[in-house]
Chains A and B, each alone.
Chain A
Amino acid sequence: MKRKILVVGNGMAGVRCVEEILALDAGAFEITVVGAEPHPNYNRILLSKVLGGEGRIADIVLNPYGWYEEHGIALYTGVEVLGLDLDARTASLSDGIELGWDELVLATGSLPVMLPLPGAEKDGVIAFRDIKDCEAMRDASRRYQHAVVIGGGLLGLEAARGLLNLGMQARVVHVLDCLMERQLDPFASKLLQQDLERQGMLFTMEAQSESVLGGDRVQALRLKDGRILAADLLVMAVGIRPNVALAKAAGLEVKRGIVCDDHMRASRPHVWAVGECAEHRGIAYGLVAPLYEQGAVLAKALCGAPGEPYTGSTIHTKLKVSGVDVFSAGEFNEREDTKAYRFRDDFSGIYKKVLARDGKVVGGVLYGDTSDSGKILQLMKEPDGESRLAGLFGAGSKSVQEAAGVEAMAPSDIVCSCNGVSKQGILDAIKTKGCTTVDQVKACTNAARSCGGCKPLVQDLLKLALGPDLAEEKERVCDCTDLSRDEVVAQIRAKSLSTGKEVRMVLGWKNEEGCSKCRPALNYYLNMLYPGRHADEVSSRFVNERLHANIQKDGTFSVVPRIRGGVTTPAELRKIAAAAEKFKVPMVKITGGQRIDLLGVKKEDLPAIWAELDMPSGYAYAKALRTVKTCVGSEFCRYGVGDSTALGIALEKKFEMLNTPAKVKMAVSGCPRNCAECAIKDVGVVAVEGGQWDVSTGGNGGVSLKGAELLARVDSAEEVIDLVAAYLQHYRETAHWNERTAPWQERLGLDAIKKVVLDPQIRPGLVERMDATLATYKDPWAESAKDAGLWRDPQAQAAPAGRT
């Protein structure tokens, strides 16, 4: 029988502890997590980002529901634990269930302190602690204007920043004359106040709140000195207190928090506490790093793994307040026996101060630039830190300082304070695990996974470790080879290599069967070089091109029939409607490319729905010509000077089914008003007065906005088609697989491309090769109906014949 662990609290501390347990011994326990909030574990530190649209709740979720499922963790959300019986080892839940446990982990976190002001029970008086509070703030911002935040600490300022983002007027009322006095010295705190005032935040300092005024809803806050501040939303952010009611009622020893020993054991056997609800050696922590350290110690104790006991955390703060970097550690207010080192740069808004006593560094504050924080923490550990302060305040440009920042760090210096990842830990991950991006480092080491504040440092470390290699890497086809695209294509030609397998063997691929990048790339290059002769390698195509439909997140597919130029007929629409009804298609959607998407089609229904539609495939799934978007043009539009629909249909008919390195989108507009938006298409054609057409290329409206550039002005629709054939063939022959025309055109240069496709000697060859390629294509949906083999098997994967 597996031992049962019950974790009360589904927040950052509790779930991190569970992660540590899984890492040590994934199979040893049956784990149940109960959380009062109706959400999976999210990053409370980033709550303010959810306000004002910087992020959505999904973006701050640390462990999605699937994570619990995947690790076999039973999760109860929106459920409270009402009582604990420590003798019977049971817990009773608010939904009536009773759970038994062998080990109990209390991770109940903390509660916001609500000032007992008269009138504090009115509507519109809230805390800033969880997603529910964020939702209340968002609702208020739609109807009200004046927000007052009581508390000028970190939490209060974050709340005020969020309210500003929501378009409210935000005033912070603070009892002292300095903001964030627990993290900043008076000078840094004044700098911060000025910066925040510039952002539009209002401050009422040295003000004590007396009562909340209004009817059912708050209307104002009265201060002790008689001033009245208008407020139709009042946020109390004056602090937090450990949430210990449950522990107390169960009979555990509770002082400020649940009293724990050095292994996070509470006062009764098999009961443990972690995070903000726990009190260790007299301290209840409220920052994420100590909570994570506690979680690691507790996990080891539960798994019986050897490990150092928890002896407390050095408290330091490194954060971004409203876009300003601040850091502090240890003592940061001067006393008689301390010596202060200061650096100030009013121009860049940087302030640094380090305090020393008897030759030892005892703390410091950094404002505006926190790249020296690791250095300060390190020096604080050394007996003669003061003598090594030199260099910390050196002049020089910011970039020089930053580069020196990571280089100067000692290997043991902590880069990610949230997760305790050192410089060496990250360098090891780069070296031994081959990380080349921040995301990879994040996945390997957990660095930058919580508040994200150390991302720039991780980036700097990547640069430091891989400087030249990073650039080299971009050129390679993939990790399976050191060869570039051009080298591979040249070798295929020179050695007459004829299959992907042969290419990989002869050119010494590191993985015999390649990877998901090079397999489709090689197949494309071979198809491009030997049209009609290379047998398409179906198993090297991405699923969408194999099944001629777009796979969706739930494993169903989308089906888009060809509607050339966006011009359809009532009969065609009836056919689509009938097919959608027959196959109970869950969503029918008009696409951005002027056609109709049938979403949610079952895999086994694909051949049947194509037969029902009896229309050509729209290739909405392929690296191929997608659509040609058109405006109405001269046929109906009073401005039209060219027949854009006719040309669009002709272009689509000509180039449909053409495989290209990446998807290709076209548009044709009937006049320079350009309603078809040609400027953001791979190929855009605009009619100009006098029967001429402007052909622009290399535009992109997706990932990276880029305006198309004029390739040429031509005299007829026929010449448009000829020029587009040459342009696309040149693109097919020289682009990297998966490279859109925009970056390709930028890489080669428009002038160089013009020299090729406008050259009367070269162009006919390109057009001829294009036509030879086009002649090999057959509509895959129609072919599937003829194929009696595997394709008729509802689950089979084989593509119908006739593909190149």
Chain B
Amino acid sequence: MMVPGGPESATAPACVKVPLKGLLPQQGRRVASPWGEVAVFLLSNGQPRAVLNRCPHKAGSLAEGIVCGEYVFCTQHDWKVCLKDGRAALPDVGRTRVFKACILGDDVVIEAED
């Protein structure tokens, strides 16, 4: 789907910045982006992760889910979604979009995967 001002358009912002001080380990945060609402997380080891804030099951919000290792459990029906590849853990099947996330200075920088 084309999003106005999204990455597909010529003037699109290449990335979205989220201040690190707004994030807590093992907790997520909803962030608006040209690609839709993104759920940004800090894992317990301090690494950032970002996925589209839509559970592949019924589009539930993932940002508030319980984070265990590389997984988040959806707030709606407890689907287990991998933050590395966006896939639902078996036996559930589905996938949500994953974004590149890295720490640059005081921010987590989120970019679309190419």
Residue-wise, chain B 32-64 has the 8 Å CB interface mask toward A (1 for contact) of 000000000000100000000100101111001
Residues of chain B with a CB closer than 8 A to A766's CB: none
Distance from B102 Cβ to chain A, minimum over Cβ atoms (Å): 20
Distance from B97 Cβ to chain A, minimum over Cβ atoms (Å): 10
Distance from A128 Cβ to chain B, minimum over Cβ atoms (Å): 31
Distance from B19 Cβ to chain A, minimum over Cβ atoms (Å): 10
Q: Does A412 contact B (CB under 8 A)?
A: no
Residues of chain B with a CB closer than 8 A to A64's CB: 58
B65 adjacent to A543 (CB under 8 Å): yes
Q: Does A555 contact B (CB under 8 A)?
A: yes
Q: Does A70 contact B (CB under 8 A)?
A: yes
Distance from A801 Cβ to chain B, minimum over Cβ atoms (Å): 14
Residues of chain B with a CB closer than 8 A to A514's CB: 68
User: Which among A150-158, A212-220, A259-267, A515-523 touches the partner chain?
Assistant: A515-523
Q: Does B15 contact A (CB under 8 A)?
A: no
> Which A residues from 775 to 804 make CB contacts under 8 A with B?
790, 793, 795-798
Residues of chain B with a CB closer than 8 A to A547's CB: 64
Residues of chain A with a CB closer than 8 A to B100's CB: none
Q: Chain B: which residue is nearest A604 at the CB level?
A: B30
Q: Does B93 contact A (CB under 8 A)?
A: yes
Distance from B53 Cβ to chain A, minimum over Cβ atoms (Å): 8
Q: Does B105 contact A (CB under 8 A)?
A: no
B66 adjacent to A511 (CB under 8 Å): no
B29 adjacent to A796 (CB under 8 Å): yes
Q: Does B92 contact A (CB under 8 A)?
A: yes
Residue-wise, chain A 533-553 has the 8 Å CB interface mask toward B (1 for contact) of 000001111110011000101
B91 adjacent to A440 (CB under 8 Å): yes
Which residue in A429, A443, A797 is a CB contact (below 8 Å) of B29? A797
Q: Does A444 contact B (CB under 8 A)?
A: yes
> Which A residues from 442 to 492 make CB contacts under 8 A with B?
443-444
B61 adjacent to A551 (CB under 8 Å): yes
Q: Complex: how many Å from CA A760 to CA B75?
A: 44
Which residue in A519, A793, A795 is a CB contact (below 8 Å) of B66? A519
> Which B residues from 53 to 96 make CB contacts under 8 A with A?
53, 56, 58-61, 64-69, 73, 75-76, 78, 80, 90-95
Distance from B52 Cβ to chain A, minimum over Cβ atoms (Å): 10
Q: Complex: how many Å from CA A172 to CA B84?
A: 58
Distance from B74 Cβ to chain A, minimum over Cβ atoms (Å): 9
Residue-wise, chain B 9-35 has the 8 Å CB interface mask toward A (1 for contact) of 000000000000010111111110000
Residues of chain B with a CB closer than 8 A to A542's CB: 66, 75
Q: Does A66 contact B (CB under 8 A)?
A: yes
Residues of chain A with a CB closer than 8 A to B66's CB: 516, 519-520, 539-543
A553 adjacent to B67 (CB under 8 Å): no
Of B26, B66, B73, the most chain A CB neighbours within 10 A belong to B66
Residue-wise, chain A 573-610 has the 8 Å CB interface mask toward B (1 for contact) of 00000000000000000000000000000010000000
Residues of chain A with a CB closer than 8 A to B75's CB: 542-543, 551
Q: Does A512 contact B (CB under 8 A)?
A: yes
Q: Does A435 contact B (CB under 8 A)?
A: yes
Distance from A31 Cβ to chain B, minimum over Cβ atoms (Å): 14
Q: Does A268 contact B (CB under 8 A)?
A: no
B78 adjacent to A543 (CB under 8 Å): no
Residues of chain B with a CB closer than 8 A to A515's CB: 68, 73, 80
Q: Complex: how many Å from CA A444 to CA B76?
A: 21
Q: Chain B: which residue is nearest A23 at the CB level?
A: B93
Interface of chain B, main secondary structure: loop
Distance from B101 Cβ to chain A, minimum over Cβ atoms (Å): 16
Q: Complex: how many Å from CA A300 to CA B59?
A: 30
Q: Complex: how many Å from CA A244 to CA B92?
A: 37
Residues of chain A with a CB closer than 8 A to B80's CB: 515-516
Of B22, B60, B80, B91, the most chain A CB neighbours within 10 A belong to B91
Q: Complex: how many Å from CA A72 to CA B97?
A: 12
Residues of chain B with a CB closer than 8 A to A603's CB: 30
Q: Chain B: which residue is nearest A551 at the CB level?
A: B75
Q: Does A388 contact B (CB under 8 A)?
A: no
Number of interface residues of B (CB under 8 A): 34
B61 adjacent to A555 (CB under 8 Å): yes
Residues of chain A with a CB closer than 8 A to B44's CB: 513
Distance from A446 Cβ to chain B, minimum over Cβ atoms (Å): 10
Residues of chain A with a CB closer than 8 A to B58's CB: 64, 66, 553
Distance from A524 Cβ to chain B, minimum over Cβ atoms (Å): 14
Q: Complex: how many Å from CA A435 to CA B92?
A: 11
Q: Complex: how many Å from CA A444 to CA B61?
A: 24
Given contacts A66-B58, A511-B68, contact A539 B27 (CB under 8 A): yes
Residues of chain A with a CB closer than 8 A to B94's CB: 70
Residues of chain B with a CB closer than 8 A to A539's CB: 24-27, 66-67
Residues of chain A with a CB closer than 8 A to B59's CB: 66
Residues of chain A with a CB closer than 8 A to B68's CB: 511, 513-516, 519
Q: Does A398 contact B (CB under 8 A)?
A: no
Q: Chain A: which residue is nearest B53 at the CB level?
A: A555
Q: Chain A: which residue is nearest B92 at the CB level?
A: A443
Given contacts A539-B66, A553-B60, contact A790 B24 (CB under 8 A): yes
Of B29, B31, B59, B95, the most chain A CB neighbours within 10 A belong to B59
Residues of chain B with a CB closer than 8 A to A444's CB: 90-91
Q: Does A433 contact B (CB under 8 A)?
A: yes
Residues of chain B with a CB closer than 8 A to A551's CB: 61, 64, 75-76
Residues of chain A with a CB closer than 8 A to B78's CB: 516
Distance from B83 Cβ to chain A, minimum over Cβ atoms (Å): 12
Residues of chain B with a CB closer than 8 A to A797's CB: 24, 27-29, 64
Residues of chain A with a CB closer than 8 A to B90's CB: 433, 443-444
Distance from A62 Cβ to chain B, minimum over Cβ atoms (Å): 14
B64 adjacent to A543 (CB under 8 Å): yes
Residues of chain A with a CB closer than 8 A to B56's CB: 70
Q: Chain B: which residue is nearest A516 at the CB level?
A: B73
Distance from A538 Cβ to chain B, minimum over Cβ atoms (Å): 8
Q: Complex: how many Å from CA A793 to CA B22?
A: 8
Given contacts A513-B69, A516-B78, A520-B66, contact A795 B22 (CB under 8 A): yes
Q: Chain B: which residue is nearest A519 at the CB level?
A: B66
Q: Chain A: which residue is nearest B95 at the CB level?
A: A70
Residues of chain A with a CB closer than 8 A to B95's CB: 70
Residues of chain A with a CB closer than 8 A to B69's CB: 511-513
Q: Chain B: which residue is nearest A540 at the CB level?
A: B66
Q: Complex: how many Å from CA A512 to CA B53?
A: 25
Residues of chain B with a CB closer than 8 A to A511's CB: 68-69
B22 adjacent to A798 (CB under 8 Å): no
Residues of chain B with a CB closer than 8 A to A795's CB: 22, 29-31
B91 adjacent to A433 (CB under 8 Å): yes
Q: Chain B: which residue is nearest A433 at the CB level?
A: B90
Distance from B24 Cβ to chain A, minimum over Cβ atoms (Å): 6
> Which A residues from 412 to 452 make CB contacts under 8 A with B?
429, 433, 435, 439-441, 443-444
Distance from A24 Cβ to chain B, minimum over Cβ atoms (Å): 14
B76 adjacent to A553 (CB under 8 Å): yes
Given contacts A515-B68, A797-B29, contact A443 B91 (CB under 8 A): yes
Residues of chain A with a CB closer than 8 A to B24's CB: 539, 790, 796-798
Given A439-B91, A543-B66, A547-B64; 11 other pairs, CB 8 A cutoff = A440-B91, A441-B91, A443-B92, A444-B91, A513-B44, A513-B69, A515-B68, A519-B68, A539-B67, A543-B65, A551-B75
Q: Could you give 23 example pairs across A and B, Cβ below 8 Å? A: A66-B59, A70-B56, A72-B1, A433-B91, A440-B91, A444-B91, A513-B67, A515-B80, A516-B66, A520-B66, A539-B67, A542-B66, A547-B64, A551-B61, A551-B64, A555-B60, A603-B30, A797-B27, A797-B28, A797-B29, A797-B64, A798-B24, A798-B27
Nearest first, the 4 A-B pairs at minimum CB distance are A516-B73, A543-B64, A443-B91, A539-B26
